[in-house]
Amino acid sequence: MRREKSCGALVVRKRGEEYDLVLLRHKFGGHWSFPKGHVEAGENERQTALREVREETGLTIRLMDGFRESVEYFPKPGVKKQVVYFLGEAQGEHLVPQEEEISELRWTPLEQSDEMVTFSNDKRLIRLAKKHLGVSPQ
């Protein structure tokens, strides 16, 4: 069994009393999810998450304390993948998609974001992020 590890972040911005979440649509597969990517040599999890968010969205973020969630799945036979997600606050608003991998990138109201993501793991991460941010579930 080969193991792969990626890191990423659920990226939010506060808009009054509401939050928006960055969602991206992958060119390969067409699913909606969060920015993430493989850990490179010499990086820790947080460094990978910060780099991948910047590469895929153009945003600089500040990672929030107390949120680190891990998801595991099997993307193909013989491969087990772990993705570690953090919760990050955007330090800007202008989105610049990484054209090689991302077909669409958008700010989505946090309350509606779980309707857009494709996978149940991502829906669970959104629920946990809402709880961490003190957003009451709908």
pTM for this prediction: 0.94
pLDDT mean by block of 10 residues, the chain; 138 residues? 96 95 90 95 97 97 98 93 97 90 94 93 96 82
Architecture of domain 2-133 in CATH? Alpha-Beta Complex (3.90)
Domain boundaries, the chain: 2-133
> What pLDDT is stored for residue 49 in this prediction?
98
Q: What is the DSSP string of 22-79?
A: EEEEETTT--EE--EEEPPTT--HHHHHHHHHHHHH---EEEEEEEEEEEEEEEETTE
> What pLDDT is stored for residue 120 in this prediction?
93
Cα-trace Rg, the chain: 14
Tell me which residue of 80, 83, 87, 75 sits closest to 128, measured CA to CA: 87
> What pLDDT is stored for residue 115 in this prediction?
94
> What pLDDT is stored for residue 57 in this prediction?
96
Pairing relationship of beta strands 18-26 and 32-33 according to DSSP bridges: antiparallel
> What pLDDT is stored for residue 22 in this prediction?
98
> What pLDDT is stored for residue 26 in this prediction?
87
> What pLDDT is stored for residue 124 in this prediction?
96
> What pLDDT is stored for residue 137 in this prediction?
61
> What pLDDT is stored for residue 136 in this prediction?
73
